[in-house]
Amino acid sequence: MTDNQQSLTVRDNRTGEEYELPITDGAISAKDLGKIGTGEESPGVAVYDPGFTNTASCRSAVTFIDGEKGILEYRGYPIEQLAESSTFLEVAYLLIYGELPTEEQHEKWVHEVTFHTFVHENLRSLMQGFRYDAHPMGMLMSSVGALSTFYPEARNITDDDIRHEQIVRMIAKMPTLGAWSFRHAQGKPYVYPDNNLSYTENFLSMLFKMSEQEYNADPRLVKALEVLFILHADHEQNCSTNAVRSVGSSQVDPYSAVSAGIAALFGPLHGGANEAVLKMLRRIGSKDKIPAFIASVKNGDERLMGFGHRVYKNFDPRATIIKKACDDVFEVTGVNPLLEIALELEKIALEDDYFISRKLYPNVDFYSGLIYEALKFPPEMFTVLFAIPRTAGWLAQWRELVDDKDQKIARPKQIYTGDRHLTFVPSSERWA
């Protein structure tokens, strides 16, 4: 240990031994703790941390969050500036490759992504095989996983060129697969990509185009979607990113790893929350029902969906930007009647000691669902709209993981609480 190295001194009261553990970047190594034992046979001290609430699983230079101050930065750039002045594809490049692209790199990147938007016709048939009412997230998860069978070379995860090709394919094809999962439930024909359109315009075209030659979305809606995509592009070590990293640590191909991320995002405590918010607002139905609803939340019978965050404990900077985007969208679509209930709910909750004392504030999902509904998306599509841009973050994190010499296959410990040394009695005797 060097002289100016920070350290932690731990005294093991079982043995009286003292240990000096180096502190690096604010963390001690769990491996060092493992050296603290009571003897040769002792397993050493482990860390019990369900949900990884205070465990760093990697070193990462992708996204910075200060939950107390409400700061979110991608590769050092504040989210507010990126949402205001950048595009989703530029942000995706920044996240994945670590630097803002030069003009030349940007042109090549946009060209590559634009020309990989089509998917193999067999994948289209696979999607058409789903039941008429299949959840679009289930369809997206399966079709992204299925992409690995179309590109078996993707298993070569250490070759930079091959890796780049899969990254381009995934960023390019996600809107196609997402839009088709939406059209499927509506019984409408799948719309092929239009490479003359921008990333978000093309997505809107594949979602909503019918018989017109070209689908021209309102530029205010295109801009709002672009902002939503930027806000959702990454969020450091959340549940789905952890899933991508954990599955990716087995050195599987990136399609399989991202498919695991989509599965994690599907859950109502993660990306499914905006769908849950909408359902909650509909269930509340009118402003006069809010006090009774808040009472049931405080009783522990309900959760106020779209409130609270594992990291943000004062405000979620994405929620502030989204609230602004709501106004732009409602200017085009007319105000969503559920907005009134949401605003009142937020006002009451922010003044109530239950929420204040637990540091529960609106998160990104509280308002995003209202925008999505105004854009005529059914709630089942909301998480798909999250998964498409988050693919950029998943791939940035996956790429970082693959290059990280410290990483090993993810394999947490457990504290075993079950029986031991039982004697098996065959069923013929047990049931006699």
Binding site for ligand ACO (CB under 6 A): 269-270, 273, 297, 303-310, 358, 360, 363-365
Shortest reach from residue 270's CB to ligand ACO, in Å: 4
Contacts of 67 (CB under 8 A, 6+ apart): 309, 311, 312, 313, 314
Contacts of 20 (CB under 8 A, 6+ apart): 1, 7, 8, 9, 10
**Per-residue exposure over 131-161, b if at least 16 CB sit within 10 Å of its own CB, e if not:** eeebbbbbbbbbbbbbbbeebeebeebeeee
**Per-residue exposure over 326-357, b if at least 16 CB sit within 10 Å of its own CB, e if not:** beebbeebeebebbebbeebbebbeeeeebee
Q: Which of 411, 410, 394, 400 is nearest to 157 (CA)?
A: 400
- Which of 234, 253, 316, 365 is catalytic? The answer is 365
For residues 180 and 386, which CB has a smaller minimum distance to ligand ACO in the complex?
386
For residues 177 and 265, which CB has a smaller minimum distance to ligand ACO in the complex?
265
For residues 68 and 214, which CB has a smaller minimum distance to ligand ACO in the complex?
68
Active site annotation includes 164? no
Distance separating alpha carbons of residues 248 and 394, to the nearest angstrom? 10
Distance separating alpha carbons of residues 299 and 114, to the nearest angstrom? 51
Active site annotation includes 309? yes
The dihedral through the CA atoms of 367, 369, 373, 377 has a sign that is: positive
Contacts of 92 (CB under 8 A, 6+ apart): 171, 233, 389, 392
Active site annotation includes 270? yes
Q: Which tokens go with 31? A: 């491996």
- Which of 135, 270, 352, 404 is catalytic? The answer is 270
Judged by DSSP in three states, 73 sits in strand
Q: Which tokens go with 232? A: 């959702």
Shortest reach from residue 308's CB to ligand ACO, in Å: 2
232, HSE (Cβ side, Cα atoms, 13 Å): 25
Q: Are 292 and 345 in contact (CB under 8 A)?
A: no
Catalytically annotated residues:
270, 309, 365
